[in-house]
Structure 1
């Protein structure tokens, strides 16, 4: 399976019932789609995402009229994640009841995302733990340095979360395998966080568990529930955790682009003919 490093171009025929042809040439790092409500920002993202299989194979699954150009051009797979912004109540409570957790803990869609991310986080820790052991047992002169570099992204993630949540006194409990927080002597689960804290945790956990591989992060209005300071830092935080990610997002918030990302903004009208 040959994976692409990033998407170079998105082309969509007939976005709206035979009208509006979309050609969007993408930056390697950051791409921000803007426009008024109803102009088609989310529709463009959704048409691309719906054409990607669960494993990321795309040429045979793309919707009719949707074409992707990737780098390298002969790649047929894409590593990707999708983050949406809505902290809506869970509708399918019967499905949640079958999960190995207290039903009362999971009340919103963000809670469910956090539940599955916790599982990925455990797998991620096992993976880097095995790599650290292999490095230390290699006998190489710089084995200790290699081990430190392997664990660095996880430490960076923990430091970033502690910094973001510092005003409310929350800190990640670093002796736990699952994510837990301490606050004034009390231990909290992620499901006890505020909506904004959950949203930021979902975003940064999603980025972390991709283990710094090249992949595409689709985000549809991720700023909802986030404090304006967090909106301003969002893109930088993601790139700090994984410099190999390609970000493709829609937004209504000027704050998201305020830290030097204005040149990465594309209006829907600019890519439509």
Structure 2
């Protein structure tokens, strides 16, 4: 894993962190600045979905419950991924959670949170498990943040939960599998993840490798980067992609 870490260290403007868990060894494999607090952007939707799944597990909600007054963010890709849902005003909770993750859809996220009792209630539940995680309606808000190591632990919880109770965790896993965020050198079915990005920050959390053959679970984030929207500031993003490709190479060799 040293080559992954060394590649990330080549990002000389800003701060970067990564935490990697090996499902083969059942332990954290490698980390760099895993206590780094990062803006979540769209990745906050995984935390919202985690909260919903825990309420379903406790019997407080049902995946078949109907979320009303649903609308889709036209700036996201639900028209391509879920064309058959576009004229729906209601969705079962399980479908709403899947679409929220797969399409990074903040409109669906708002509908889910309102259905669940509001942002304060959702945050109170999330923070009972992960005190550093706080989610907001506006994914670009500065308060929408978490520590990398807690996001990694959440992803481990979701993955292991699916292995033992798949019906409970399927809506989240379906969303991670369907969302688009491909890296050319990694087969799409070997990268089930959730990305998030702002002008000066990036995050990627997910499952790398064959889902049923000892994948890695990872959380990667970078902050205080040069404006990523400018073409001449793409070097950090390139380094992150190279590090992800190196990580996939490590997976293939394990």
Bigger fraction of residues in helix:
2
Greater gyration radius: 1
Common fold by TM > 0.5: no
TM-score of the pair, normalised by structure 2: 0.28
TM-score of the pair, normalised by structure 1: 0.27
